[in-house]
A and B are shown apart, each in its own frame.
Chain A
Amino acid sequence: MGNKSLSLFGNIRSLENKISEFLDQLSESNIMFRAGVTAFLEGGGASSDAFKKKLELVSAMESRADVLRREIEAEMFEEALIPDFRADILSLLENLDEITNHLEGTLINFSIENPEFLKDLHADILKLLENVANCVEALVVSTRAFFRDVGSVRDNSHKVMLYEKEADKVVLPLKSRVFTSDLGLDRKAQLRNFIDSIDRIADMAEDVVDMLAIVTIRRAA
């Protein structure tokens, strides 16, 4: 009994650490994504070492996040943990993992397609990147709060929505400028796809925070 209870609490610590590390992967891949796209814009495209390095890091983090998510899922199911919120937590982790996947996927597309962004669009894209990165970071902080301090989830969740709106404010004029430029339609469409792909990250973060808000109400009730 004694050993069992010790191992019980040992497993708990390990699971807590895995959840925390999973969120670290999202937070860090978010930072690396921003740094990667910035390096792409400022350092000479997909062939620059700085960009390649960031892509490698984000890919490694995405893989690690996948492994962690699977381990967390398996442990929670096998041990039948947190019966009242298990389904919510697992779906939350899957949605967060999709954001990490999307960060990696977007960087891979940058590396394959190597799109050429006009110099005068750079400032707006960097602005968009900043809002998207802040949005994801606020989501990570909210999610951490959900696991440990449910009362402070709201303190950060509203920031996710704020940054998502800020990102939208940048995206619309940015896409207009792409389509009023002298570029060919094929390149216009390509740039629009990349802008949408970056903006999609904020939209995904907003969707997750909406779900988090509902689960939080249930947990705090």
Chain B
Amino acid sequence: MEIGVLIYLTSGLFLGWSLGANDAANVFGTAVGTRMIKFTTAALICTIFVILGAVISGAGAAHTLSKLGDVNALGGAFVAAFSAAAVVAWLTVLGLPVSTTQAIVGAIIGWNFFTGMATDFTVFKTIIGTWFISPVLTAFFSYFMYKGVMWFLNRQRLHIVRLDAMTRLALLIAGVLGSYSLGANNIANVMGVFIGANPFKDFSFGGLFVFTGLQQLFFVGGIAISVGIYTYGKKVMMTVGDSIAPLTPVGAFVVVIATSLVLFLFASEDLEFFLASLGLPTIPLVPVSSSQAVVGGVIGIAWIKNRRNIKWGVTGRIVVAWIQTPIVSALFSFVMLFIMQNLFGQSVFEKVEFQVSKPVLERHAKKLDVKSLESLVGKTYTTSGSLKAEVDRLLPVAEYKAVLTFVQEARMERLTVDPARFPELGKSGLLSQPQIDSVKALAGKTFDYRWQLVDALTTGSESWRMKEATVLNKPYNKEVKQRLDIVMDLYTAKMK
């Protein structure tokens, strides 16, 4: 086990700590804030199910879902994860619920700026959209759900003691499910970047079952999240469950359910597929963040109870924190990268080459006026930012996304399909035999660009071909893409 890798791993653990300290409030904030569940009970449940979620569901499909995916050197990944973690930790100390994902995106943008890589600025549109959509939708849902639940409960004439016990049980069950999905959905953000440099080896328990290296890595990440919950989770929980506005226990439950429902209805591809497979119209998927949704949920209920109780000062501070999260994270990451590179002499990015060639131009002929780009053929660029600036100069009115894709696909990787690594193909158990065979058929061949290898695979076998991009084909295409990522992971350079 390399000491260097272990040192780098600490920033992932710090990010896990921050995530636990901040995001546990999305699951248990209202229950703890209304004193329906003791903090120690909530922390214990959250700990157990975050770890289970991370190990069981996080390790399955999350193979290459790391949000730090663009960052190509361990030193850079360390700084990006550390910056995001530090920003979230700072806001956690202030007791403010923020989105860890948005902090990570900010840190990657900082890395992009520092290294001169091109940034897809539409990500800001998505983040700003999330600031509005998540709380407003959840406020709307919790408002009407609370009215409905109270109407129902008033007709049930439950004894106050029974209502209390049922609400407590409901909050516990919602907390268990929420903690599990917190672990499953976020572990890749925390530890995903270290998958390539995973220091853990598979461990077999007497041949009964195997605790894979990836599961061990995610287990360690899960423990970091749990430590975050235990050591600093209460502050943000009390902000969410008590400081924004006083909540009733039933209100606390409605907030949790409204948040989950908003995430399920507006961010679930499974639901979209299910509706489409029944021939029903689908609900448009929008970006939502549970940290931001839960705040809207509390306000939605306070609006019914007594809107004068809403502390707009606290709410304002939270909104300012949302805006600060990606911006401060980007700035901090930029400064830290500078220090890391110039003071500690660590490599924060691997040199890459971008080269425009005839095949690249042909590939983009449909969307871009490639004739104007012919002057770029043969030139080499060391950053995507410099190539993009050239393309922008030559094609000032080209479609933004098309230019970004063009730049990304001009990246030279020179992948050689090394037969020595064929045994590893079957290891994941996900690749079908025809897929493995088609990779083997390319033995010894070298491809300048990643997309050329993908093209060779799809030409070689039907099993690598994606279907038309419809809602119903989404799960299939996603699966093919995941399997392609496994092959690419095998033949692209490992992060150092």
Contacts and interface: CB of A to CB of B under 8 A. Distances in A.
A85 B160 contact: yes
A133 B158 CA distance: 28
B157 A149 contact: yes
B159 to A, nearest CB: 5
B414 interface: no
Contacts of A5: 169
B33 to A, nearest CB: 10
Contact of B160 (A9, A148, A151, A221): A148
Contacts of A146: 160
Main secondary structure on A side of the interface with B: helix
Contacts of A221: 305-306
B164 interface: yes
B25 interface: no
A80 B38 CA distance: 9
B52 to A, nearest CB: 15
B178 interface: no
Interface residues of B, number: 18
Interface in A135-183: 146-151
Contacts of B161: 12, 15-16, 19, 81-82, 147
A149 B164 CA distance: 14
A83 interface: yes
A9 B35 CA distance: 19
A80 B169 contact: no
Interface centre among B157, B169, B305 (most CB of A within 10 A): B157
A149 B154 CA distance: 7
B248 interface: yes
B158 A148 contact: yes
B119 to A, nearest CB: 48
A8 interface: yes
Interface string B144-168: 0000000000100111111011000
A148 B34 contact: no
A186 interface: no
Contacts of A15: 161
A147 B159 contact: yes
Nearest to B250: A84
Given A83-B249, A148-B157, A16 B162 contact: yes
Contact of A12 (B36, B154, B165, B306): B165
Contacts, number: 46
A115 B160 CA distance: 44
Given A5-B169, A16-B159, A147-B159, A82 B164 contact: yes
A150 B165 CA distance: 18
Contacts of B38: 80
B160 A80 contact: no
Contacts of A148: 157-160
Contact of A80 (B35, B154, B158, B159): B35
Contacts of A82: 160-161, 164
A15 to B, nearest CB: 5
Interface in B150-201: 154, 157-162, 164-165, 169
A83 B35 contact: yes
Interface in A184-204: none
Nearest to A5: B169
Interface string A1-16: 0000100110010011
Contact of A83 (B34, B162, B165): B34
Nearest to A89: B160
B249 A8 contact: no
Given A5-B169, A151-B154, A221-B306, A81 B164 contact: yes
B449 to A, nearest CB: 54
Nearest to B36: A83
Contacts of A19: 159, 161
Nearest to A146: B160
B132 to A, nearest CB: 29
25 contacts: A5-B169, A9-B165, A12-B161, A12-B162, A12-B165, A15-B161, A16-B162, A80-B35, A81-B164, A81-B165, A82-B160, A83-B34, A83-B249, A84-B35, A84-B248, A84-B249, A85-B160, A147-B160, A147-B161, A148-B158, A148-B159, A149-B157, A150-B154, A221-B305, A221-B306
Given A80-B35, A148-B158, 18 more contacts: A8-B169, A9-B165, A12-B162, A16-B159, A16-B161, A19-B161, A81-B161, A81-B165, A83-B34, A84-B34, A84-B35, A84-B249, A147-B161, A148-B157, A149-B157, A150-B154, A151-B154, A221-B306
Interface of A: 5, 8-9, 12, 15-16, 19, 80-85, 89, 146-151, 219, 221
